[in-house]
Structure 1
Amino acid sequence: MSHTLQLLPRDPVIARDGRPFGDAGVTRQHVLPWLLPGTLAGAVRTLLGRKAGQSFDADTIESLKSVSVHGPFPVSDGQLFLPAPGDALATADGRCVRLQPAALPQGCGTDLPAGLMPVLPPQDCGLQKYVAVPAWWSLESIAEWLCGQPDAGWLGNAERFRMAATVDERTHVRIDPESLAAEKQKLFSTQGIVVDRLLDPSGKSHPAELVCRVDSMAPDYRRILDCLDALVPVGGERRTIRFRAAEGADSGHLQCPAAIGTRMANVRPGDRIRMVLAAPALFSAGWRPGWLNSDSGRVGVVPVPDGSGILKVRLLATANQRWEAVSGWSYETRGPKKVRRLVPAGAVYFFEVLSCESLNWSNLWLQSVCDEVQDRRDGFGLALWGLQD
């Protein structure tokens, strides 16, 4: 059973990156541009365990790890915002250009794995310098992009987009408890990401909150989620966010747009589609999903929710940025987690459909496509689906 939670940030959130800080002699702490899914999943599960009065023994930990947490995503001015797709570039005159798999001219080559095509801008764009698009797109804009509908002046509507979260940096000193004076050489700084206000491309500030989806089969946890309203520490320094059960229109933000469901319902074998990652993904084969396990890693069956049908695809091309790292501290093993490589949010995979038997595309919206079940429950690899022009 799914529950949608509203997250109302009270403080800038500290989501540290992997660089040393503190005892290593480093006096400046750095943050990631956005909360990783595992950070939120840990906060939600800890909250559920405490609300249920559990002791966090081995059985309880396994029960809590079975709770799926997907998010967080920002909501601003009543609109859900999702990461910008990696196949979108902006030109100097404000046009939005779509990258597409394309064959290279005769005599040109790449070092891509056999059979994969490069992604290129349209030929009529010519040689020019492209710039990055805004970091966050409204759900309406994402739906239009995935359906291939945006017009030439599309990027000019600032209300549809939000920039990356701003960073709040604070300088601290360590106080001697006896003299109540600052200790020498104990000056340090911390950073937090401001997630309760986001800027649009014009520089105007908009209030924002976060939203996430929690799935649990345990009756005790479902009862807690039904009427949840609590302040929860998330990230470093116990910065707090208010978690509460979403009601009314707020509970429908994470549902598949009707336009996507309608257009994708017409997909047949031989058609070309796109998969856009709305959350960083963990794959056993690095940048390539492990479920692409046939035809030299190009063909496979997409993991879909039970009862949603079968989707078999052939990989044609991919557009993504360099890998990101995730690690952290495990409260289960009382030790550091191993560093793992993430495919960043916004990465796009271009597929040819080989089979889509009895497929319900709406059930695939914002569902994880990671290889491992636990990574899916932790909210990594949430996917959006659309057509390829």
Structure 2
Amino acid sequence: MSNYHFVQPLDVLMIRGNKSFGGDGQHGEAVMPPWPSLFAGAFRSVLLGKDAGQLASFAHGGDRLAGKLGTVLGSRDEPGSFAINWLSLAILGAEADTPQAIVPLPADLVAFDAPRVETLVSLQPTAASAGCMTSGELPLVAHLRIARQAKPETGRWLDTAGLAAHLRGELPARTLSSTALFKRETRLGIALDGNSRTATDGALYTSEAIALGQAVGFLVGCEGDDGQLPKSGHLRLGGDGKGASYRAMAFTAPLVAPHEIATSRRFRVILATPGLFADGWLPEGVTRRGSGEYRLQGDGFSARLACAAVPRFDTISGWDLARQQPKSAERVAPAGSVYWFDDFAGDVRKLAEWLASGLWGDNPDRQRRAEGFNRAWLGLWRNAD
């Protein structure tokens, strides 16, 4: 069962990426939207902060915590049942308890602001034309077809209704602009001498801060907290320990009816959070056959990977507070990557259950699983008009 929380920063946020900075003249860019691990750490800290003794034991790598808290959080090396399963921006509606989820455009949608071009166009998987150069072995290529050449718009987002329409295979009615949701601000800083804790001469640097708009925050879905997480409270969030408040809210994630997949025998998988896969861009459970075909094989279902739209790799890292050391940097398929599957056979309900638990397969990385990576949405695959 998922519990959703609306997280609203009390100040700007310093959402740092994987690039170190702080030296003379360097600039630190903010990651937006942030990685789910940011909120996993913040909420785990809230749970640990309930008991100072258990907090000290956890930080020093002691045995598994006692009682329900131990079941929820586990140990420093082996996480418990608590995990992040949803992360998006959100806007509070006219009623204070109705959050509107806001997600970036998936890779199979392109926005335009140009004459004689639709404002939103979906990529369509088609067979590669004669002489067309492709970089992979998949049978279909995601094509963008528009009336004339135009430059795509960046920084566009979908609301809950738009995401639901997209998962149904329909074109969303509208998109939102980043400028209506948040602003990037530049902050000036100066490096400190680690020994004297005084300013270092000439070591100026700049960093980006994220200032969210009015009534804009984050919608975070949690599972496995066993009632241990308070319904409301405060978090330390991001770089410099900026404050944020949170409170539980009712939210229903958009889903598609599985019976249409059983009829059409095809579907899409859209990454909701970055995908940490053993084979790079290829989701767990998909393997290459000797004939050059890529097949998804799960417990009670199978399908062929026919097409993919995967933007350039991202790199995730982070800071391990318990060990006081950086986490390993790892390449990920970006959130919003889209995979088209056909030739489906088996039980659609098992396919939906597999997706709901995250695209992990036999991947042993329990920490990243608990942090909310590899989450995905199931969508219908319909041809556009």
TM above 0.5: yes
Distance, in Å, in 1 between the alignment partners of 2:223 and 2:250 is 14
Aligned residue number for residue 68 of structure 1? 83
Asked if the contact 1:84–1:133 (Cα under 8 Å) also holds between the matched residues in 2, the reply is no
Post-superposition shift, 1:239?
0.7
- Code of the aligned partner of 1:298: Y
The answer on 1:117 being equivalent to 2:140 is yes
Post-superposition shift, 1:27?
4.1
- Alignment: residue pair count: 347
The 3 A distance-change label for structure 1 pair 270 and 332 is same
TM-score (norm 1): 0.79
- Code of the aligned partner of 1:28: H
RMSD of aligned residue pairs (Cα, Å):
3.0
Distance, in Å, in 2 between the alignment partners of 1:40 and 1:327 is 14
Distance, in Å, in 2 between the alignment partners of 1:328 and 1:297 is 36
Query: What is the 5 A alignment of 1:37-186?
Result: 37-53=36-52, 54=54, 55-56=57-58, 57-59=62-64, 60-62=75-77, 64-76=79-91, 77=93, 78-91=99-112, 92=114, 93-113=117-137, 115-122=138-145, 125-132=146-153, 134-150=155-171, 154-155=173-174, 160-163=175-178, 165-173=182-190, 184-186=201-203
Aligned residue number for residue 2 of structure 1? 2
Asked if the contact 2:21–2:28 (Cα under 8 Å) also holds between the matched residues in 1, the reply is yes
The 3 A distance-change label for structure 1 pair 127 and 26 is same
Aligned residue number for residue 294 of structure 2? 298
The 3 A distance-change label for structure 1 pair 49 and 353 is farther
Distance, in Å, in 2 between the alignment partners of 1:8 and 1:366 is 26
Matched residue of 1:51: which SS?
Answer: coil
The 3 A distance-change label for structure 1 pair 44 and 274 is same
Asked if the contact 1:84–1:135 (Cα under 8 Å) also holds between the matched residues in 2, the reply is yes
Aligned residue number for residue 357 of structure 1? 347
Aligned residue number for residue 233 of structure 1? 236
- Code of the aligned partner of 2:223: D
Match of 1:384 among 374, 377, 380: 377
Distance, in Å, in 1 between the alignment partners of 2:157 and 2:351 is 23
Distance, in Å, in 2 between the alignment partners of 1:367 and 1:13 is 30
- Code of the aligned partner of 1:95: T
- Code of the aligned partner of 1:44: F
Asked if the contact 1:6–1:211 (Cα under 8 Å) also holds between the matched residues in 2, the reply is yes
Distance, in Å, in 2 between the alignment partners of 1:17 and 1:358 is 37
Q: What percent of counterpart residues are identical?
A: 23
Distance, in Å, in 2 between the alignment partners of 1:166 and 1:354 is 43
**CA deviation vs aligned residue, 1:217-243 (integer Å, no higher than 9, x gap):** xxxx53332x33222111110111112
TM-score (norm 2): 0.80
Distance, in Å, in 2 between the alignment partners of 1:45 and 1:241 is 15
Matched residue of 2:165: which SS?
Answer: helix
Post-superposition shift, 1:182?
7.5
Distance, in Å, in 2 between the alignment partners of 1:297 and 1:36 is 32
Post-superposition shift, 1:141?
0.7
The 3 A distance-change label for structure 1 pair 175 and 81 is closer
**CA deviation vs aligned residue, 1:250-283 (integer Å, no higher than 9, x gap):** 3224x234xx23xx32222762211111211111
Post-superposition shift, 1:345?
1.1
The answer on 1:324 being equivalent to 2:314 is yes
Post-superposition shift, 1:95?
2.9
Match of 2:254 among 244, 253, 256: 256
The 3 A distance-change label for structure 1 pair 311 and 47 is farther
